Amino acid sequence: LGQFLIMLAGGKLFFIMLLAMILSTILGMGMSTVPAYVIAAAVVAPALVQAGVPVMAAHLFVLYYAIISTITPPIAISAFTAAAIADSDPLETALKSVRLAISGYIIPFLFVYRPPLLAQGTNWEIVYTAVITLIAIYALSRGIQYRLISKMERLFMIVGAAVLLFPYYDLLGIVLILIGFLFTGYQKYIKGRKSVNV
């Protein structure tokens, strides 16, 4: 299966991880944490290791997606249970859960692309990576969740957060996020000027 995943992804690590994410999520659906992880670790983790991902990062990768399958439609047993308690629409609750937990879907990629996040590196690298990760999560959450921002800021926030997934592009990601902030700030300034003039 490992060789098949690698071949299907054309040997590209990012696409291998995308396939591993989908497979781990599907395998974990409808199960509790331990069996979901055991199955994903046995089936998917070896493919990631064969692709060059460190063992710890590979297993944490599949663990996260096996667990997060409990809120991922169409099964989403945790979301459906919560919907029954809250007397709300199950599918709508599951989709809202995915939206609220969106950062959880990108963190496993950071385990692979940014090893210092798993305390593998110098103290400076660990702190720097933690800060970059927090910025990426904040930008992504703001871009998806926050309603009182412009469409342009939303776009810059999401794209900036996506860029911060990959090392060596940190400056570009931060610049995109700052442009998003400045864009909304400028719009508020213009609206304020217009209201004063009126």
Q: Which residue, of 113, 131, 156, is where some domain finishes?
A: 113
- Higher-scoring residue by pLDDT: 116, 193: 116
Is 7 in the same domain as 89? yes
Average pLDDT, the chain: 87
Is 167 in the same domain as 71? no
Q: Which residue, of 72, 94, 113, is where some domain finishes?
A: 113
Is 106 in the same domain as 135? no
Calpha distance 20→107 (Å, rounded): 14
Is 61 in the same domain as 125? no
Name the domain count of the chain: 2
Is 44 in the same domain as 123? no
Mean pLDDT of 79-103: 88
pLDDT value of residue 53: 92
Calpha distance 149→185 (Å, rounded): 10
Q: Which residue, of 75, 95, 113, is where some domain finishes?
A: 113
Calpha distance 141→38 (Å, rounded): 30
Taken in order 125, 126, 130, 131, is the CA torsion positive or negative?
Answer: negative
Burial class (CB in 10 A: 0-12, 13-18, 19+), 73: middle
pTM: predicted TM-score of the whole model, two decimal places: 0.82
- Higher-scoring residue by pLDDT: 189, 165: 165
Place 195 in a pLDDT band, splitting at 50, 70 and 90: low
Mean pLDDT of 19-38: 88
